[in-house]
Chains A and B, each alone.
Chain A
């Protein structure tokens, strides 16, 4: 008797657990749906024709899938007087983002290495000032930066925008690398010095090979920041050097007459694709890198 009552009590608690587990999944599923809703609307809308958008339901699936809007967004949509789509601006963004990410990451790694392992008088002050740089709002630097770019003769050019992004990103990248490198024991540097390696040799042969997780974190962070930047892009560019974010704004805001929602949506998705791509490819390193330091080499 007791056996039977025991097992029934056990199976009861088992069912309870399963029900609870399912409730949890349902709740999580609902949240996921809620978050995915805007993306869903964007994608479906971009695949509909204008007629269908006007007559149909916002969240309905497209009756007829058409890629016309994507074609227009990529190479035909008008940004003001020019009608070349986002394509030239997309390339501008790539030309800005890739060098700016690479340079700011490399310089950040060097800075972090120096601040963490080549202590010099005033190192703390310099590091604090760099940290302070992270918290200066974009708007504050606009005017001095415009003046600086003017003096340097690179105002309105792509190198100018690269310069701005490198300077602004340096505080963050230095912080990332410094915090990663302080977890590397100082004895490693000492051993390398006794072995005869110099400043750059130690950086290149010992620190950089250890840095993959933090490089991934920094690249994702910097790429997202630079690619998604609008303020610097709109302030320090001129016709022909604008990044894709500025072009997107122009497409959406400067159309006259009928609003082409499908084209707007397609352009917005195109503009967001590279950052999505970077997250998907490097996302797991991102999480790992953020928790780095708890993991020993």
Chain B
């Protein structure tokens, strides 16, 4: 099947400032693509370029196999949900949803039928005669989704649609969007700065920084094998521990030495990765530093560490310590015996470890 969205060598600049540099992304029908990155990374601009709301400086965009590079937004067969919802304030909910059909000259019976269908799907029938000003944030969000759904487009575009909601509602709506995607089987492009949203929703994630794509991959790939230090640091909460270390060759693999403020360095042996340069940055997820009794796999090794801070978070307890001159977070279980200021034996799992070159920040293994 041909890709539903295919972006080739896209460049975008305002005057002399380059906002997007050589963007290449394509998604298959039914994909949920999430563009994620810190603010100012160009993700929203890219979405606006896909929608045709911003002209592009170079490259091409095709949607559904047709070149749409210079086509106006209304002819791209897309629907978009905005961060502020952008509901028309003077129109009722029903008029908001049918406005697009009215503009395109769809006949009244079809309009009514589709409106009823979408209203039932989103459970907003009681709201149809209200105005946006009389709705709560969550309800507005639903209406904005309804306006997109009624279009039945090839491609849905979402521009940070959940960032104006409170934390609880955000999680609810996130699940709902995911359910919607599964039920419709529609193709979606979704912009967010929230890496948890990206991980939970996406079938494919694009991590961006400074207008450049850092990595494209499935959530698992991005999480387990980040392409560089930026992605490693950005994706995951708490963030991946990035510890400066020395890698020394040994008969049974690579010996990893991590210095400590006091006492002997920690020495771990990695049997899988060989031929590393001497200076590396070791990337370990907090969940790979755990209580020793929990893990028994052959890639785990125990070491004594001095715990500085203990942060109970309900399901887990996070312990913070100093290794290689950095704060390192370990994810321990809730009833852990770790106490601040006291040493504790922790097990390090090097099975999913990442190595990065300190100078370039690129992944080594």
A106 sits at the interface (CB 8 A): no
A206 to chain B: closest CB distance in Å? 5
Interface residues on B, range: 20 to 34
> B residues within 8 A CB of A195?
74, 99-100, 103, 147
A122 to chain B: closest CB distance in Å? 14
Please report the C-alpha to C-alpha distance between residue A238 and residue B99 in the assembled complex, in whole angstroms. Answer: 51
Selected contact of A194 from candidates B79, B87, B89, B91, CB within 8 Å: B79
Q: How many A-B residue pairs have CB under 8 A?
A: 60
Instruction: Check A193–B53 contact: CB distance below 8 A.
Output: yes
Please report the C-alpha to C-alpha distance between residue A101 and residue B80 in the assembled complex, in whole angstroms. Answer: 39
Selected contact of B78 from candidates A194, A206, A210, CB within 8 Å: A194
A270 sits at the interface (CB 8 A): no
> A residues within 8 A CB of B147?
191, 195
Instruction: Check A191–B80 contact: CB distance below 8 A.
Output: yes
B343 sits at the interface (CB 8 A): no
A187/B83 contact (C-beta < 8 A), A194-B51, A206-B88 known = yes
Instruction: Check B86–A191 contact: CB distance below 8 A.
Output: yes
B48 to chain A: closest CB distance in Å? 8
> B residues within 8 A CB of A210?
89-90
B96 to chain A: closest CB distance in Å? 9
Interface centre among A193, A194, A296, A297 (most CB of B within 10 A): A194
Within 8 A of A (CB), among B85-109: 86-91, 99-100, 103-104
> B residues within 8 A CB of A188?
86, 88
Q: Which residue of B lies closest to A297 (CB)?
A: B89
A197 to chain B: closest CB distance in Å? 5
A190 sits at the interface (CB 8 A): yes
B245 to chain A: closest CB distance in Å? 47
Instruction: Check A194–B73 contact: CB distance below 8 A.
Output: yes
Please report the C-alpha to C-alpha distance between residue A193 and residue B90 in the assembled complex, in whole angstroms. Answer: 17
> A residues within 8 A CB of B103?
195-197, 201
Please report the C-alpha to C-alpha distance between residue A19 and residue B99 in the assembled complex, in whole angstroms. Answer: 60
B82 sits at the interface (CB 8 A): yes
> B residues within 8 A CB of A209?
90-91
A205 sits at the interface (CB 8 A): yes
A190 to chain B: closest CB distance in Å? 5
A239 to chain B: closest CB distance in Å? 48
> A residues within 8 A CB of B133?
296-297
* B151-165 near A? 1/0 per residue, CB < 8 Å: 000000000000000
B84 sits at the interface (CB 8 A): yes
A41 sits at the interface (CB 8 A): no
> A residues within 8 A CB of B48?
190
> B residues within 8 A CB of A201?
103
Please report the C-alpha to C-alpha distance between residue A185 and residue B79 in the assembled complex, in whole angstroms. Answer: 18
Instruction: Check A187–B89 contact: CB distance below 8 A.
Output: no
Please report the C-alpha to C-alpha distance between residue A195 and residue B147 in the assembled complex, in whole angstroms. Answer: 9
Please report the C-alpha to C-alpha distance between residue A205 and residue B91 in the assembled complex, in whole angstroms. Answer: 9
Please report the C-alpha to C-alpha distance between residue A104 and residue B268 in the assembled complex, in whole angstroms. Answer: 79
B276 to chain A: closest CB distance in Å? 48
B160 to chain A: closest CB distance in Å? 11
* A202-240 near B? 1/0 per residue, CB < 8 Å: 000110011000000000000000000000000000000
Instruction: Check B88–A190 contact: CB distance below 8 A.
Output: no
Please report the C-alpha to C-alpha distance between residue A194 and residue B148 in the assembled complex, in whole angstroms. Answer: 10
> Can you add 12 more A-B contacts, CB < 8 Å, to A185-B86, A197-B103?
A187-B86, A190-B80, A193-B53, A194-B51, A194-B53, A194-B74, A195-B99, A195-B103, A196-B74, A196-B100, A197-B99, A205-B88
Listed from nearest, the 6 A-B pairs whose CB atoms lie closest are A195-B100, A196-B74, A297-B89, A191-B86, A187-B86, A209-B90
15 contacts between A and B (CB under 8 A): A185-B84, A190-B80, A190-B86, A191-B86, A192-B99, A193-B74, A194-B100, A195-B74, A195-B100, A195-B103, A196-B74, A197-B99, A206-B90, A296-B133, A297-B90
